[in-house]
A and B are shown apart, each in its own frame.
Chain A
């Protein structure tokens, strides 16, 4: 068994308590061989960033269904950059209207996975080679 593993933080920023999707993704990624750190609901962007740094994750996946994504996702990206961890890749999922995706990508969110996304699509994203930032 290879020692090196890809580590992913799955986090729910803000007050939204709907965690069915986040829990499913965490489990599905585990089944694909990833190490998933899951921190539960009601995480502030600050806590998410500190967690990402301490756990030295490669990716942070943010799940949000309450419509606060335009405020909270960029906040996580900015805080990561400010802490010298801008190389950690941030992606998001939940209820996010198509119209908001360009804005979020502009703010540094690498990908958004809306309703109907399959595990396969997320795996493909995680495994695709990335330009070093």
Chain B
């Protein structure tokens, strides 16, 4: 089948197969992504992150329902870490979204981090393009926000939802400053648990160095440039409509102010840089087989038989000589 045509037609199998080719780093993937690229740019990309157990999947599940009620097609990419020991993974996020499994307007894909060189962010970025070209108007990327890799994933989004829950103790500290920095909308889920108000106060304090305001009104009214904070309970379906409105409102604001365009341009810069770095590395790898050589180099350095920069510069010089000699 002609994958590009089929993806654009919304053929689920084609979309899924194309995503697999990207994940598996198959050579055809590049061509497919480029062929689909002209048809991208219409989706809104929402990153959803936060500590495990905060209820991200349940929240996304409810948001999907609201989006579907408005006739919008929704896609979800749920990212989970691979086991560092076996390389395998258990991908269970979609369990909380399975009521949408048979809805033709919803596409859910679970992705494992797989220890990609350069992080899974690159693959996820390409997967987003496929779903964009396939016509999914809202694309959620869901990931646990506890490290640098996850921050990279979340940087792929137009709007980042940071989901917290009460009772997790010193969670704000545990969240690296970087994660709090990139959050656009802050959601305190499981608001019925004790400690919700305390958490709200903590979040407001941390955000007091930015501008933020708690909003839970019927209309998401808050000044431009402010980060909304919402209290929800996904399980009780409480506050979800307000969250959706806050997202709409925020999205409208960053669109009209030009901030979204700026963000997307920056993202494309990062993406191109990523591709460049990867390609150069791949190119050198063909000639030098970096991963095979690395232990040997490290051994020489360890014995003080070599000098770090000199060693690498030599390798690069030899590589360039070989290349120009072609």
Interface residues of A (CB under 8 A from B): 1-5, 7, 26-27, 29-40, 43-44, 46-47, 50-51, 53-56, 83-85
Contact = CB atoms under 8 A, between A and B. Distances in A.
B116 interface: yes
B281 interface: no
- For the residues of B in contact with A, the DSSP-based class is mixed
A5 B114 contact: yes
Nearest to B75: A54
Contact of B13 (A27, A39, A53): A53
B92 interface: yes
Interface in B49-107: 82-83, 85-92, 94-95, 98, 101-102, 107
Nearest to A10: B90
Given A3-B23, A37-B94, A51-B101, A56 B88 contact: no
Nearest to A43: B98
A16 B13 CA distance: 29
Interface residues of B, number: 33
B263 interface: no
Given A35-B82, A35-B112, A37-B91, 10 more contacts: A35-B88, A35-B91, A37-B92, A40-B95, A47-B102, A50-B101, A50-B102, A51-B94, A53-B12, A84-B13
Given A1-B115, A3-B24, A56 B90 contact: no
Given A39-B94, A50-B102, A53-B16, A5 B88 contact: yes
Contacts of A7: 20
11 contacts: A26-B90, A31-B83, A33-B87, A38-B95, A50-B101, A51-B108, A54-B107, A54-B108, A54-B109, A56-B19, A83-B13
A36 B25 CA distance: 19
A47 B86 contact: no
Contacts of B98: 39-40, 43, 47, 51
B36 to A, nearest CB: 17
B110 interface: yes
B90 A38 contact: yes
Contacts of B85: 31
B17 interface: yes
B112 A5 contact: yes
Contacts of B24: 3-5
B61 to A, nearest CB: 13
